[in-house]
Amino acid sequence: MLGCRGPPPMRGMRRRWGPAMADPDYQSLVFSYVRSPDQDAATPAHHPVVVVGAGPVGLAAAVDLAHQGGVRVLLLDEDERLSTGSRAICFAKRTLEIFDRLGCGDRMVAKGVGWKTGKVFFRDAPVYAFDLLPESGHERPAFINLQQYYVEGYLLDRARELPEIEIRWKNRVSGIAPDSDGVTLTVTTPEGDYRLRADWVVAADGTRSGVRALMGLESKGRVFRDRFLIADVRMSAPFPAERWFWFDPPFHPGQSVLLHRQPDDVWRIDFQLGWDADPAEERKPERVIPRIRALLGEGVDFSLLWVSVYTFACQRMERFRHGRVLFAGDAAHGVSPFGARGANSGIQDAENLAWKLALVLQGKAPERLLDSYDAERVPAADENILNSTRSTDFITPKSEASRTFRDAVLRLARDCAFARRLVNSGRLSVPATLRDSPLNTPDEEPFTGAMVPGAPITDAPMRLGDRPCWFLRQTGNAFALVHFMGADDCPPEAMCSLATGSGIPLRLLAITPAGARPPPAPRGITLIEDTEGLLAARLDARPGTTYLLRPDQHVCARWRHLDPPRVRAAMARATGHA
């Protein structure tokens, strides 16, 4: 249950969290409104970037921008608290890798409940189990379950460590006037209105985006006529850290139920209610507790922490970029909660946008680079909406024929592998492969495997000097050139020539096979040993193979031989110059 209000955190506080330091009660924190000098300025104060909304997406965008060459960010939020209740809880491997790059992934994983397996039940019998990450050799699990208020809290703590970020609570954007050179914002506070001038605005203010409404824009799509109850329950239960999904269980006949374990002995239970359910009535403890008791059985003690009833829609804006205003996360697109696609795709929006916006602000890329944000993230949203819609249609059939088909698939799935592929209890989030991105350089030589231009690069165990490490930890927040060497090779001198000239930082990573002992690398090149050969196998690499990675760790080009002119051309294309 919600705790008492604690003292507001000190403005400007910088605190580094170690493993021995206890987390605060993030749900009880109240952030004080503080008057800004901007409110007394004779003319609107100027800020390079204003991010609207201090949820997971807005916080991730602010932190990422600060990482990208120290971009100064003003973050505005109309509230004075973090989120209440668990809300988004499933964070995927790719999102955890983004959090690693932002400097807060270790806290997320240490607190979260890692999982990769799930079970599907039909009525009173198991149908089948699945494994989302059957292979080893990855630093991060397939998913963790972690309450949204922890995710926001850890991102907020990270933001406070970065001097480039200023956060203003109880500052609501009440007016917006974009033009060709920037955006003028009217901000409403407890002490009245003031105005700001921003070069760019990132609208991450959620499903009911105030920025979107002020600009007369809308999201279009399909609203699902169904209601679901979310209950956070604290209990000590013997269930494993798995995703359990029931279709038509005897304890909740005709509907579906989802169970997830969270930290702090908290369990998340989702009950399908049907469209005719009364939200106000269904939130009452006398309605919720019997449903939970029917699931758990007698003799299990539990306490009810948080309850919500929701409906949802699968929809998006037509475009995510509107001049100097860019929309991200739920402000740009929305999906059903089945499959954990909402928060994960929003964090990927923020990552996709941050490095591009930073290069534009620094004068290292033309403004048209930001058109690729639309070109890449709109198709990614469409992919999520398609999968989310299919999941919802399977979970909540709207006709007798659909229900008959679904139930037949579930019966067959117990014994037939082909039917299991048709069961859809929420196709779980996977990162978008940006195959058609205008920033990609097409392959000129044959490759096999999934690491095509546009794919997020995979991880693998490595060794840096005498220290074990992971590959993704070495790519940083910049473009990275990854060159695979033979056992007796030295890093090619051509690598060094690529590190200068463009003005865009480029990390140079030379990958050696297991057991190789090459001479010291020239200044600026990092030697990393592929200790198990997994990176080379996953990238279909042999001596001479070279990959160019974007700052968001997506592949943008690859070759069988290092050729500096081709690398420079690919860099130009990936930064909007070509």
The span from the CA of 65 to the CA of 76, in Å, is 15
- Burial status of residue 388 (CB atoms within 10 A of its CB: 0-12, 13-18, 19 or more): buried
Sheet holding 525-530, edge to edge: 467-470, 461-464, 525-530, 506-513, 479-484, 546-549, 555-559
pLDDT at residue 446 in the model: 96
Question: How much is the pLDDT for 54?
Answer: 97
Mean pLDDT of the chain: 92
Architecture of the domain made up of 228-311: 2-Layer Sandwich (3.30)
Structure tokens at 53: 């909304």
Lowest mean pLDDT among 185-189, 244-248, 418-422, 519-523: 519-523
Query: 3-state class of 174 per DSSP?
Result: strand
Q: What is the spatial distance between Cα 49 and Cα 73, in angstroms, rounded to a whole number?
A: 5
Q: Which of 362, 321, 320 is CA-nearest to residue 65?
A: 362
Give the model confidence (pLDDT) of 38-84 as tens digits: 999 999 999 999 999 999 999 999 999 999 989 999 999 999 999 98
Residue 352's pLDDT is 98
Mean pLDDT along residues 145-173: 97
Dist CA 546 CA 484 (whole Å):
6
Round to whole Å and give the CA distance between 82 and 321.
Answer: 27
Name which residue leads in pLDDT, 7 or 151: 151
Q: What are the tokens at 404? A: 């008959």
Three-class DSSP labels, 268-327:
EEEEECCCCCCHHHHCCHHHHHHHHHHHHCCCCCCEEEEEEEEEEEEEEECCCEECCEEE
| pLDDT surpassing 50 at residue 149 | yes
Work out the average pLDDT over 377-402. Answer: 89
pLDDT of residue 302: 94
* pLDDT for res 498: 86
Cα dihedral 530, 535, 541, 542 in deg (nearest 10): 20
Q: Quickly tell me which residue has 């038509």 as its tokens.
A: 248
Give the residue, 104 or 339, on which the prediction is more confident: 104
What average pLDDT does this structure show over 273-281? 92
- Contact assessment for residue 357 and residue 65, using Cβ atoms and an 8 Å cutoff: yes
Predicted model pTM: 0.93
304 compared with 399, residue with greater pLDDT: 304
SS3 content of the chain, % helix, strand, coil (to 5): 30, 30, 45
Separation CA 288–CA 118 (nearest Å): 25
| Pairing verdict, β 303-317 and 333-334 | antiparallel
Q: Above 70 in pLDDT, residue 545?
A: yes
Q: Please give the torsion angle defined by the CA atoms of residues 331, 334, 337 and 338, in that order, rounded to the nearest 10 degrees.
A: -150
Contact (CB, 8 A) for 361 and 200: yes
Rounded CA-CA distance 47/74 in Å is: 7
Model confidence over 477-510: pLDDT tens digits? Answer: 999 999 999 987 888 888 888 877 678 999 999 9
Q: Is the pLDDT of residue 3 over 50?
A: no
Q: Are 526 and 509 in contact (CB under 8 A)?
A: yes
How much is the pLDDT for 501?
Answer: 66
Residue pair 376/326 in contact by the 8 Å Cβ criterion: no
Report, as an integer, the average pLDDT of 121-141: 94
Whole-number pLDDT of residue 21: 59
Q: To which H or E segment does residue 68 belong?
A: none
Residue among 554, 506, 548, 218 at smallest CA distance from 373: 554
Out of 7-16, 111-120, 381-390, 396-405, the most confident range is 111-120
How far is the C-alpha of 521 from the C-alpha of 529, rounded, in Å? 13
Contact 198, 326 (CB under 8 A): no
| Sequence ranges of the domains in the chain | 46-223+314-382, 228-311, 461-574
Mean predicted confidence (pLDDT) in 221-246: 90
Which of the four pLDDT bands, split at 50, 70 and 90, describes residue 518?
A: confident
- In sequence order, the β-bridge partners of residue 173 are 187
Nearest CA to 245 out of 421, 427, 425 is that of 425
Nearest Cα to Cα of residue 85 among 337, 392, 385, 293: 337
What number is the average pLDDT over the span 455-472? 96
pLDDT tier, 427 (very low <50, low <70, confident <90, very high otherwise): confident
In the chain, what percentage of residues exceed pLDDT 90? 78
Predicted local confidence at residue 490, as pLDDT: 81
Query: How confident is the model over 522-532, as pLDDT tens digits?
Result: 888 999 999 99
Taking the CA atoms of the chain, what radius of gyration do you get in angstroms?
25
136: three-class secondary structure by DSSP: coil
Task: Say which amino acid occupies 495.
Answer: M
pLDDT of residue 20: 43
For residue 7, pLDDT beyond 60: no
pLDDT at 497: 82
Mean pLDDT of 264-292: 94
pLDDT of the residue at 239: 84
Hey, do 46-223+314-382 and 461-574 end up sharing a CATH topology, with the first three levels equal? no
Q: Residues 564, 500: contact at Cβ < 8 Å? A: no
| Torsion sign across C-alpha atoms 316, 317, 319, 325 | negative
In this structure, which CATH number among 3.10.105.10, 3.40.30.120, 3.40.50.800, 3.10.20.30 belongs to the domain 461-574?
A: 3.40.30.120
| Residue whose pair of structure tokens reads 């990573």 in the numeric block | 509
What would the two tokens of residue 210 be?
Answer: 């105030």
pLDDT over 50 (residue 521): yes
> Which of 108-124 are b and which e, b meaning 16 or more Cβ less than 10 Å from the residue's Cβ?
bbebbbbbbebbbbbee
pLDDT, tens digit, 9 for 90 and up, residues 13-41: 334 444 445 788 999 999 999 999 999 99
Do you know the residue count of the chain?
A: 578
Is the pLDDT higher at 293 or at 17?
293
**Burial label, 52 (beta-carbon count in 10 A; 0-12, 13-18, 19+):** buried
- What superfamily would CATH give domain 46-223+314-382? FAD/NAD(P)-binding domain (3.50.50.60)
Mean pLDDT of 232-248: 91
